[in-house]
Amino acid sequence: MTLKAVLLILDGLGDFQYRKLGVKTPLEAARAKNLNLMAKTGETGFMFSIAPGVIPGSDTAHLSIFGYSPKKYYFGRGLYEALGAGVELKEQDIAFRANLATIENNVLVDRRAGRKSDFLKSLFEELNGISVEDVTIIAKHSSEHRGVVVLRGPGLSDKISDVDPHKVGVPISYCHPLDDSEEAKKTARIINHLMHSANEILERSKNNALRKDHGLLPANALLLRGAAKYHTAEPIYEKTKAKFSCVAGGALYKGVAKFVGMDVVDVPGATGDKFTNLRAKLEAAIKAKENSDVVFLHIKATDSFGHDGDYVGKKQFIEKVDREIISGLMKNFDVIVVTGDHSTPCKRKEHSGDAVPLLIWGENCRADKGTFSETNPSPTLFIRGEDLINIILNKIELLKKYGE
Ligand code: ZN
Ligand code: ZN
């Protein structure tokens, strides 16, 4: 019998202490008996997913945790979002992460159209297939306010600026070429034209009329960022001789997993938000185990609570994960690794460069005297993300000796 491992990433898990939580972090304040039990009998420590002090994006952090240095394998967020949304990319395509947003008198008032996804799928469909010059636009909704836009046509470049200004109260930025090439100039021109056409189509859409009837902000502007060309990487199976599956809700995580050649499982009800169906994800992970050595299980909501500054919500969500997922994993996997891809402290409402807590439990583990927390008094592991896969493969006895 071969040993099976699950790598559970609670996105943005790491945090700071809050007085209202009894000077504890959300993870420390959570009543999480299963996680505590694993910490008592497992190995604990800290991980910097990229390097000490580096503030990771979720995309670069996951690449690093899967053993693919982001310095070499990060090509812009659009690539991973498009792969995760199930767009079949071609050689010359340029892919973008897309938000539908709200503008009023040309000023951006909400970058996520109120974070309400009603009718967004249909609105993305209205943009799908339009053309600008000799370029066709592929537009696809993924989850919540998120989606993907791909430009398909000759002579395009990823060397262009983002139009997403990343803040409200200002107009959407013009797209500029970032080098002198004809390709970059053409791509910037097409994006500026597309911004205008998308706004017109969205403004007169009946789906936006329906949003207004429901008291929602209109999703009347397209925000693009993270331009990326199509790239491939050596599959993780070739590198490790181990089989990996991915169970995730968000397109970005499925996309990074697909990029490194994991088998990506579709889970109905895995929405990538706080209403995600955790039990469905647990069942999918147990099923995925049949055909893989390591199952990567991603849960996003911890990060969203961090971005919203909601430390009580974050604590309660960790309790829910402990109740609905952890004991099921303990019954079904030989080795369990729980960690985050980075910290998203509620106090900062953004990612930070602080280490994330790490817990490894099961076969071939020593019981250290540490805790699974940001203030672990007795950690035995201090690692970078790039070492994690080797550590897991060692535990499930799939590593070969290095030397004689
Ligand atoms: Zn993340
Ligand atoms: Zn985040």
Nearest to 315 by CA among 72, 35, 76: 35
pLDDT at res. 11? 98
Mean pLDDT of 190-200: 97
pTM of the model: 0.93
Residue 365 has pLDDT above 80, yes or no: yes
pLDDT digits (tens, 9 = 90+) for 104-163: 999 999 999 988 889 999 999 999 999 999 999 999 999 888 999 999 999 999 999 999
Measure 378 CA to ligand 2 centroid, in angstroms. 28
Helix (H) or strand (E) run with residue 188 in it: helix 182-203
Other beta carbons within 10 angstroms of residue 320's beta carbon come to 15
Report CA(253)–ligand 2 centroid distance (Å).
12
Strand (E) positions, 219-327?
221-229, 244-247, 263-265, 294-299
Answer whether residue 217 shows pLDDT above 80: yes
Distance 11 CA to ligand 2 centre (A): 7
Ligand sitting nearest the alpha carbon of 342: 1
Assign 246 to helix, strand or coil: strand
pLDDT confidence band for 220 (50 / 70 / 90): very high
Counting ligands in written order, which one lies closest to the CA of residue 306?
Answer: 2
Closest ligand (CA of 59): 1
Cα-to-centroid distance, 359 and ligand 2 (Å)? 21
Give the distance (Å) from ligand 2 centre to CA of residue 12: 6
- Give the pair of three-digit tokens for residue 165: 């200004």
Mean pLDDT of 236-248: 97
Nearest bound ligand to the CA of residue 385: 1
How many angstroms separate the alpha carbon of residue 352 from the centre of ligand 1? 10
Task: Tell how far the Cα of 8 is from the centroid of ligand 1, in angstroms.
Answer: 13
CA–centroid distance, residue 347 to ligand 2 (Å): 13
Ligand 1 centre distance from Cα of residue 301 (Å): 10
Looking at residue 311, its pLDDT comes to 98
Ligand 1 centroid – CA 170 distance (Å): 27
φ and ψ at residue 403, rounded to 5 degrees: 95, -170
The model's confidence at residue 366, banded by pLDDT at 50, 70 and 90, is: very high
The whole-chain average pLDDT of the chain stands at 96
CA of 104 to the centre of ligand 1 (A): 31
Indicate which ligand has the atom closest to the C-alpha of 56. Answer: 1
Q: 193 C-alpha to center of ligand 1: Å?
A: 32
Q: CA–CA separation, 70 vs 48, rounded Å? A: 14
**Ligand (nearest to CA of 9):** 1
**Cα-to-centroid distance, 39 and ligand 2 (Å):** 26
Domains of the chain: 5-73+232-395 (3.40.720.10), 81-228 (no CATH)
Rounded distance, CA 289 to CA 4, Å?
7
The reported pLDDT for the residue numbered 279 is 93
User: What's the pLDDT band for 230 if we cut at 50, 70, 90?
Assistant: very high
Distance 317 CA to ligand 1 centre (A): 16
Query: How far, in Å, from the CA of 401 to the mean position of ligand 1?
Result: 33
Ligand nearest to the CA of 13: 1
Q: Which residues contact 275 (CB under 8 A, 6 or more apart)?
A: none
Whether the CB-CB separation of 4 and 289 falls below 8 Å is answered with yes
Burial 62-90 (b: 16+ CB within 10 A, else e): bbbbbbbebeebbbbbbbbbbbbbebebe
- pLDDT mean over 97-106: 95
Q: 37: CA distance to ligand 1 center in Å?
A: 26
Considering every ligand atom, which ligand is closest to the CA of 340? 1
More confident residue, 271 or 238: 238
Query: How many angstroms does the Cα of residue 13 sit away from the middle of ligand 2?
Result: 10
The average pLDDT across 88-98 equals 96
pLDDT of residue 145: 84
Residue 277 CB neighbours (<10 A): 16
For residue 349, report the distance from its CA to the centre of ligand 2, in Å: 9
Measuring CA to CA, how many Å separate 351 from each of 49, 57, 234, 237, 321? 12, 7, 29, 30, 21
Q: Which ligand is nearest to the CA of 61?
A: 1
Of 147, 229, 221, the residue nearest 187 (C-alpha): 229
Local confidence band at 6 (pLDDT 50, 70, 90 cut-offs): very high
Average of pLDDT values for 183-212?
97
Residue 31 has pLDDT above 90, yes or no: yes
Ligand located closest to 350 CA: 2
Q: How far is the CA of 155 from the centre of ligand 2 (A)?
A: 33
